[in-house]
């Protein structure tokens, strides 16, 4: 199968590209390299340096004729979306609409969309959140990701585009940007290994659902063969506080300092972890890498 992966030079997208190639698929990558890195793209994939908002996207589809789109390209900075919601919407909503329209025009068979389970539910009314939990976003980033979920479903209904929506937890692992705002594990790993002062935003009692990138890639492969119009939470279903995360990483890295605490950042959910029972039942997916093993591998990659 020929698969076009947007954001395929980024953290999660590049791992998806690697796995697709290993499975024997023909892979095309569209990435503007604003945050992704060329060196993360498997040489067996064909890379087009292009913004998903660009009208030239149609030329890529005309040349490559992808059968499936795996959509990972996004503006993923929650705090940045609060500061500049217009830019967030331009990339995440208008860019995704350009991609969907182009896919429709060129007869793409199916579409996998990487959404966010860590943000679309807002402050949960119960935990862990399953797919039936009300979606009440509290930041523009989550609003934009949810809007695209709705557009993907619309294209499925109106044009027969087969799709699967995957709602991600807090994903971590090698290649995550340690200088960005979206990856606390990567940020901590870099600071600890360089002996810098680690700053925890807020009390550190915020809770997240951390899943290693290889497990997320596995879900993408499972969704590849049967895009069935479903939304799936991906998560370990286990809450880990930022203070707990710091303690584990401190031990694994040999970091000698205690954290200091800064102000809480706006737009961030305080506690969230996900019920992935549906993904287990229908996709036969479950996370296999323990938090400690995943953190150990991530720290080793930064070394």
- Residue-wise pLDDT tens digits, 140-178: 999 999 999 999 999 999 999 999 999 999 999 999 988
Residue 269's domain comprises 174-208+238-274+288-302
Do the domain assignments include residue 48? yes
215 shares a domain with 181:
no
248 shares a domain with 297:
yes
Do the domain assignments include residue 255? yes
The Cα–Cα gap between 165 and 283 comes to: 12
117 shares a domain with 10:
yes
13 shares a domain with 127:
yes
128 shares a domain with 41:
yes
From the number of C-beta atoms within 10 Å of its C-beta (0-12, 13-18, 19+), residue 299 rates as: buried
Query: What is the number of structural domains in the chain?
Result: 2
184 shares a domain with 70:
no
What is the token pair recorded at 162? 């087969």
Say which CATH number the domain at 242 has.
3.90.25.10
pLDDT at position 180: 65
The DSSP symbol for 129 reads B
Q: Tell me whether residue 141 is one of the annotated catalytic residues.
A: yes
| Catalytic one of 48, 113, 141, 168 | 141
Give the pLDDT mean for 55-74: 98
181 shares a domain with 145:
no
Do the domain assignments include residue 279? no
pLDDT tier at 179, thresholds 50, 70, 90: confident
The Cα–Cα gap between 183 and 72 comes to: 16
pLDDT at position 226: 86
190 shares a domain with 164:
no
Say which CATH number the domain at 165 has.
3.40.50.720
In this structure, which long-range contacts are made by residues 279-283, counting pairs with CB atoms below 8 Å and at least 24 apart in sequence? 279/219, 279/232, 279/233, 279/234, 282/228, 282/230, 282/232, 283/219, 283/222, 283/223, 283/232
Check whether 132 has a pLDDT greater than 80. Answer: yes
139 shares a domain with 12:
yes
């Amino acid at each position: 199968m020929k698969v076009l992966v947007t954001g395929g030079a980024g953290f999660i997208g590049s791992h998806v590209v690697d796995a697709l190639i290993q499975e024997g698929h023909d892979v095309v990558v569209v990435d503007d390299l604003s945050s992704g890195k060329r060196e993360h793209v498997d040489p067996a994939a064909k890379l087009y340096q292009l913004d998903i908002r660009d009208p030239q996207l149609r030329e890529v589809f005309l040349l490559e004729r992808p059968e499936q789109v795996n959509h990972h390209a996004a503006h993923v900075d929650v705090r940045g979306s609060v500061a500049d919601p217009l830019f967030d919407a331009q990339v995440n909503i208008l860019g995704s609409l350009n991609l969907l329209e182009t896919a429709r025009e060129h007869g793409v068979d199916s579409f996998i969309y990487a959404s966010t389970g860590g943000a679309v539910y807002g402050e949960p009314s119960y935990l862990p959140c399953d797919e039936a939990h009300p979606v009440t976003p509290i930041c523009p980033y989550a609003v934009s990701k949810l809007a695209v979920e709705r557009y993907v479903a619309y294209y499925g209904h109106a044009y027969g585009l087969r799709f699967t929506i995957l709602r991600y937890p807090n994903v971590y692992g090698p290649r995550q940007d340690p200088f960005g705002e979206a990856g606390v594990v990567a940020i901590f790993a870099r600071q600890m290994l360089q002996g810098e002062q680690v700053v925890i935003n807020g009390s550190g009692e915020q809770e997240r659902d951390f899943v290693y990138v290889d497990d997320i890639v596995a879900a993408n492969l499972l969704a590849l063969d049967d895009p069935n119009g479903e939304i799936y939470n991906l998560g370990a279903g286990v809450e880990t506080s930022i203070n707990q995360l710091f303690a584990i990483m401190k031990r694994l890295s040999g970091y000698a300092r205690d954290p200091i605490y800064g102000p809480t950042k706006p737009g961030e959910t305080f506690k969230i972890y996900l019920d992935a029972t549906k993904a287990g039942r229908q996709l036969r997916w479950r996370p296999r890498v323990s938090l400690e093993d995943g953190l150990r591998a991530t720290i080793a990659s930064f070394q």
